């Protein structure tokens, strides 16, 4: 398809520019709605780019200022000079519907982008120089770019509407129906600190390997299923669905995981496993089969489950294993893109995203109380801390000596450090760790209030 045959509407482009030349209100309304590349006419694209530059410099946009700017750029004659600017103004009889014309321009631009991306994908498929997985990944990146380009933030909202939602939330809290607004973890001491997990929150759970971050996340899924009949979708990039199933059976039926793995079970243990397979969590918790999902894969599966069964929580284990859809100069930028994508996913699905993360090895070099994790220990990117609504660390006591009478007890405790919480307190909570079941349980312990 030649460029002249691609979707366009020159009349709409001209009216948009004419409106911006004759109305300050139209300028304010349209300047952030479009980009220079949205205009198919080269002259119109150059004019809009100059308008953006003037606007960014806090200068008025009118025929004279535009003419001066284009002349400095040596582009004035290229766009058609005074005659073309006069034509744009004369063709615009009213600016009332300027935003509707801008939407037409935006739609045509999106269609052209889709055609160009489709042609690139078609060429890749025809040439067959790369394997199908690489071509599909290329196609995904191209289409994802168009999707992101065409997403526009909602407009401003008046406090009248905000207050209405505030009062609905407060009334829900008063009538003990706050579970409509927040998701309790099932760990009472932790919920006292968090005030529950907010709907759409991005929750980061971080720990060094072997401390129990996967088990803690699975315990959250188990708790919200058993106590509140909530549904969770799990993406685990390290373990298969069969391996995760064994962990759920172990923690739920309270049968040692090692016995399940080896098959060395007595009759009572086997009976408990059979009974537990029909429990509520079997119908509430789903596991994605893909061990190397992209962010697009995750979004697709979440949308599917949301539409068919409902979705109350998403778990991703863990972020450092994932790759983004784009090329980046360094790993920090890639992790930043991923965390931002998960933040937006929670808003789209209207449910919290539990994102597991590794901690830096630097923590192991510290001694004593200094070994408690800090926000600066998050591995690979400060964006994890920035985007997260809640950051929790899991810590275990490695300092007790063998002759310490509390050593055995301390080994069966994990400290949950709430290091960041946008909507509640911070502090430390101790939970019972049942290692043979890889399970977390409530411990009668008052949390230590954060400083």
CATH number, domain of 280, equals: 3.40.50.300
- Does residue 172 fall inside a structural domain? no
3-state secondary structure of 198: strand
CATH number of the domain to which 137 belongs: 1.10.860.10
CA pair distance 355, 342, nearest whole angstrom: 8
Can you tell me which residue has the tokens 């004593």? 368
Residue 369: what pLDDT? 58
| Domain end position, chosen among 107, 134, 149 | 149
Distance (Å, rounded) from C-alpha 215 to C-alpha 119? 46
In this structure, the answer to whether residues 186 and 327 fall within a common structural domain is yes
Distance in angstroms (rounded) separating the CA atoms of residues 144 and 123: 18
Same domain, 143 and 206: no
Mean pLDDT value of segment 91-111:
91
- Residue 143 and residue 185 in one domain: no
Q: What is the mean pLDDT of residues 198-204?
A: 93
8 is written with which tokens? 């366009």
Alpha helix positions (H), 195-294: 213-228, 241-253, 257-262, 267-276, 281-284
How sure is the predictor about 106, in pLDDT bands with cuts at 50, 70 and 90? very high
Whether 185 and 59 share a structural domain: no
DSSP 328-378: -SSHHHHHHHHHHHHHHHHHHHTS-EEEEEEB-GGGGGS-GGGGS--GGGB
Residue 306 CB-half CA count within 13 A: 17
* Maximum average pLDDT range among 36-40, 177-181, 337-341: 36-40
Nearest to 395 by CA among 418, 372, 365, 422: 372
What pLDDT, in 10s, does the model give residues 263-281? 899 999 999 998 888 877 8
Find the mean pLDDT for residues 306-319.
91
Q: Does 126 or 141 have the greater pLDDT score?
A: 126
Categorize the per-residue pLDDT at 232 as very low, low, confident or very high, splitting at 50, 70 and 90.
very high
Asked if residue 379 has pLDDT above 70, the reply is no
To the query of whether residue 238 is one of the catalytic residues in this protein, the response is yes
Let me know whether 186 and 142 are in one domain: no
Whether omega for the bond prior to residue 281 falls within 30 degrees of 0, making it cis, is no
How far is the C-alpha of 106 from the C-alpha of 30, rounded, in Å? 11
pLDDT digits (tens, 9 = 90+) for 388-404: 999 999 988 765 545 55
pLDDT of amino acid 325 = 59
- Residue 165 covered by a domain: no
Which residue range is the domain that position 111 belongs to?
3-149
Q: What's residue 182's pLDDT?
A: 82
Determine, yes or no, domain membership for 157: no
Query: How many C-beta neighbours within 10 Å does residue 76 have?
Result: 20
Check residues 188 and 329 and name the one with the higher pLDDT.
Answer: 188
20 and 98: one domain? yes
Q: Phi/psi of residue 280, each to 5°?
A: -60, -35
What is the model's pLDDT at position 403?
52
> What's the rounded Cα separation, in Å, for the pair 24 and 316?
47
Q: Same domain, yes or no, for 378 and 337? A: yes
Q: Indicate left, alpha or beta for 145 from its phi (over 0: left) and psi (-120 to 50: alpha).
A: alpha
pLDDT, tens digit (0-9, with 9 covering 90-100), for 48-75: 999 999 988 888 899 999 999 999 999 9
Q: Is residue 159 one of the residues assigned to a domain?
A: no
Q: Please state, in angstroms and as integers, the Cα–Cα distance from residue 218 to each residue in 70, 206, 404, 437, following that order.
A: 61, 14, 32, 12
Residue linked to tokens 């809640």 = 390
The answer to the question of residue 123 being in a domain is yes
Nearest to 448 by CA among 431, 430, 432, 428: 428
Average pLDDT across the chain, whole number: 85
Residue 420 has pLDDT above 90, yes or no: yes
389, 202 in Cβ contact below 8 A?
yes
Half-sphere exposure (CA, 13 Å, Cβ side) for 188?
Answer: 5
Instruction: Give the whole-angstrom CA distance, residue 132 versus residue 137.
Output: 8
Contact predicate 183/352, CB 8 Å? yes
Handedness of CA 296, 302, 306, 308 (dihedral sign): positive
Residue 327 pLDDT greater than 80, yes or no: no
Tell me the mean pLDDT in the region 411-426: 89
Checking if the pLDDT of 378 tops 90, the result is no
pTM: 0.67
Q: What is the pLDDT of residue 448?
A: 47
258 and 133 in one domain?
A: no
Task: Give the pLDDT confidence of 278-307 residue by residue, as tens digits.
Answer: 877 888 999 987 877 888 788 888 988 998
Enumerate long-range contacts of 439-443, CB under 8 Å, 24 or more apart: 439/215, 439/219, 439/250, 439/251, 439/254, 440/187, 440/212, 440/215, 440/216, 440/219, 440/414, 442/187, 442/188, 442/189, 443/189, 443/413
The answer to the question of residue 205 being in a domain is yes
Task: Say if residue 7 is in the same domain as residue 86.
Answer: yes
Residue 377: which pLDDT band, with cuts at 50, 70 and 90? Answer: confident
Say what percent of the chain tops pLDDT 70.
86
Which uninterrupted H or E stretch holds 419? Answer: strand 413-421
| Same domain? 213 vs 288 | yes
Count: domains in the chain: 2
What confidence score (pLDDT) does residue 142 get?
83
Note whether 33 and 121 are same-domain residues: yes
Closest by CA position to 232, among listed 300, 346, 313: 313
Q: Does the pLDDT of residue 329 top 80, yes or no? A: no
CB 411 within 8 A of CB 430: no
The pLDDT-based confidence of 156 (bands split at 50, 70, 90) is low
Domain assignment present for 171? no
Same domain flag for 58 and 192: no
Query: Catalytic pick from 37, 238, 409, 449?
Result: 238
Burial of residue 123 (CB within 10 Å: 0-12, 13-18, 19+) is exposed
Q: Is residue 162 part of a domain?
A: no
User: Between residues 256 and 154, which one has the greater pLDDT?
Assistant: 256
- Residue 451: the pLDDT is 41
């Amino acid at each position: 398809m030649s460029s002249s045959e691609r979707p366009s509407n020159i009349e709409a482009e001209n009216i948009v520019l004419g409106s911006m030349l004759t109305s300050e209100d139209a300028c304010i309304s349209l300047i952030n709605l479009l980009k220079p590349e949205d205009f198919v006419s080269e002259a119109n694209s150059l004019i809009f780019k100059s308008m953006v530059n003037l606007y960014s410099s806090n200068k008025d946009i009118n025929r004279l200022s535009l003419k001066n700017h284009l002349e400095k750029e040596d582009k004035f004659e290229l766009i058609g000079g005074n005659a073309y600017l006069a034509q744009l103004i004369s063709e615009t009889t009213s600016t009332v519907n300027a935003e509707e014309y801008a939407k037409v321009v935006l739609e045509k631009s999106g269609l052209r982008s889709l055609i160009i991306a489709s042609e690139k994908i078609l060429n890749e498929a025809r040439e067959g120089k790369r394997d199908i997985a690489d071509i599909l990944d290329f196609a995904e990146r191209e289409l994802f770019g168009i999707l992101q380009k065409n997403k526009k933030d909602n407009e401003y909202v008046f406090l009248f509407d905000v207050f209405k939602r505030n009062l609905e939330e407060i009334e829900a809290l008063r009538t003990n129906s706050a579970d409509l607004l927040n998701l309790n973890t099932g760990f009472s001491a932790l919920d006292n600190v968090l005030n529950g997990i907010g709907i759409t929150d991005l929750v980061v759970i971080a720990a060094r390997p072997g401390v129990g971050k996967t088990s803690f996340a699975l315990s959250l899924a188990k708790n919200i299923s058993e106590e509140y009949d909530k549904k969770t979708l799990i993406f685990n990039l390290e373990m298969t669905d069969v391996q995760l199933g064994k962990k759920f059976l172990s923690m739920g039926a309270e049968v040692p995981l090692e016995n399940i793995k080896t098959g060395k079970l007595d009759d009572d243990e086997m009976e408990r496993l059979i009974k537990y397979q029909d429990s509520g969590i079997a119908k509430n918790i789903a596991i994605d089969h893909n061990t190397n999902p992209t962010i697009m894969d995750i979004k697709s599966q979440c949308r599917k489950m949301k539409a068919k069964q409902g979705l109350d929580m998403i778990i991703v284990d863990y972020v450092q294993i994932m790759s983004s859809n784009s090329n980046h100069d360094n790993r920090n930028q890639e992790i930043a893109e991923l965390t931002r994508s998960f933040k937006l996913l929670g808003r789209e699905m209207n449910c919290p995203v539990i994102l597991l993360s590794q901690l830096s090895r630097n923590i192991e070099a510290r001694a004593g109380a200094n070994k408690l994790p800090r926000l600066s220990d998050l591995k690979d990117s400060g964006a994890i801390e920035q985007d997260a609504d809640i950051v929790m660390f899991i810590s275990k006591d490695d300092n007790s000596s063998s002759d310490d009478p509390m050593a055995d007890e301390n080994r069966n405790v994990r400290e949950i450090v709430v290091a960041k919480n946008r909507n509640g307190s911070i502090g430390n909570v101790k939970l019972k760790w049942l290692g043979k079941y890889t399970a977390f349980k409530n411990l009668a312990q008052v949390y230590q209030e954060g400083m």
